[in-house]
A and B are shown apart, each in its own frame.
Chain A
Amino acid sequence: MITEIDCQKHNDLELVELVLSDTDYYACLVNRYIEALRRYVLRLGSNPTDADDILQEVFLSAYLHLNDFDKKLKFSSWIYRIAHNQTVSAFRKSNVRPTVELSDLEPWQEMVRDSCPGTKFDQELLASKTKAILEQLEPKYREVLVLKYFEDKDYSEMSDILKKPMGTIATLVSRAKRQVAKMAEGENLK
């Protein structure tokens, strides 16, 4: 039986090697990433029920493809990539528009403020209109903003997760912020 203490002794790469010889070690990786990935999947626009199904698929798929993991990448980038792909695929299959969960509103508000530098916002108005802005945001822009403002990923990690060149990621972030600024103006938040 693998204990939490056993898990803590190993980094991600060591755990990947251990899982290949002893499946029980997979619990360490699942437990290490499950909460972060759940939040990520929800922030991408999944509802809580679908998020659990998506996560099961993510961890099964990761296990099946463990031998395909490129050890020059961070394991976190690799599993975030799988989570991203599964979530987008689930949206496509269900043909449902991503929903916006506002349980963690503050980072989104920070992102809106960051997109409109030098602007003084009416705090109450900002809180009430943030959801409207996010719902209008194109998914490709929301994806990069979630990774940057919530998951604290740098451009290199974002590039590995979304499988896009770093220059493209920087352009997407910049365009996303411009779109947010434009929407904030449309909502008269200033």
Chain B
Amino acid sequence: MTSISDKVLDKIKKEHIRPRPRWQFWLRDGGQWAGFVMLLLLAAFALGLLWYFWSDGPWLHGGRSMGLFFGPMPLALLGLVALGWVLASIDFSSTGRGYRYPLIKIGAALLLLAVVSGWALNFLGVSQRMDRAFSNSPLYQDRESYMKNVWQRPSEGLLAGEISSVGTDGRFTFRDFDGRDWLVDGSGAVWRHGLVPAIGARVKLIGTPRGGNFTAEEVRPWMGPGSCGMTQGGGSCRMMR
């Protein structure tokens, strides 16, 4: 036996050294994988919310409000997506056999996974529920002002506010968030997400302004599907307000 192996074995025996128990390594690995999953979920949920914001924006109607596509709220969410995605990639590459894959491939695969998950969360309505759940949180203060910034632009054919009275033939009066009253012709408008005209309903309008009148092409609930104005009578509106 070589002197080194003698020394090593003597030390092990004299100092009663034992291999570290398996659970310690399981705990370390479990923590690492849990961190990875949480970071990936952070990226996916932030992407889901971003997807929800963007899919509900007026961008597809002649490029309206495009300048606000990357407003403070979407940028903050993009920051969260980037944080979760980058840290999850690094975390994965440092797992047991993660080193075998180039970081760029890990990053690309995780980005794809986060995008698909984000889309699925939005598709399943989870993003919308999260949006509502966070609406009273202090971190979400900018959400309302960002939305108003995007939608309260009469010159660009965008209006946001509350239905004040409902007339016949799809006409209704409307008070926008700047306090201005409008007579809206909604007879030819598409009412999204099962929305029906209801007093007190907070809605977003896409259309054409003509003096104090507004011809609506599309009417959407203020806070996405399921919010105020979805039902006749607007019972949920009162709750929202």
Contact = CB atoms under 8 A, between A and B. Distances in A.
Interface of A: 19-20, 23-24, 26-27, 30-31, 34, 52, 55-56, 59-60, 63-68, 70, 72, 159, 163-168
- List 9 A-B pairs, minimum CB-CB distance, nearest first: A30-B5, A66-B19, A163-B99, A67-B22, A59-B8, A68-B25, A165-B102, A67-B19, A55-B4
Interface stretch (B10-18, B38-46, B52-60, B210-218): B10-18
Given A30-B4, A56-B7, 17 more contacts: A26-B12, A27-B5, A30-B5, A31-B2, A52-B4, A55-B4, A63-B8, A64-B20, A65-B20, A67-B19, A67-B21, A68-B20, A70-B96, A159-B99, A166-B100, A167-B102, A168-B102
Contacts, number: 69
B102 A60 contact: no
A95 B155 CA distance: 69
23 contacts: A23-B13, A26-B8, A26-B12, A30-B2, A30-B8, A34-B4, A56-B4, A56-B8, A56-B11, A59-B8, A60-B8, A63-B8, A63-B12, A64-B17, A64-B20, A65-B20, A65-B25, A67-B20, A67-B22, A68-B25, A159-B100, A165-B99, A167-B102
Interface of B: 1-2, 4-5, 7-9, 11-13, 17, 19-22, 24-25, 96-97, 99-102
Contacts of A55: 4
Contacts of B101: 165
A26 B7 CA distance: 12
A27 B99 CA distance: 31
Contacts of A163: 99
B99 to A, nearest CB: 4
B127 to A, nearest CB: 35
A23 B4 contact: no
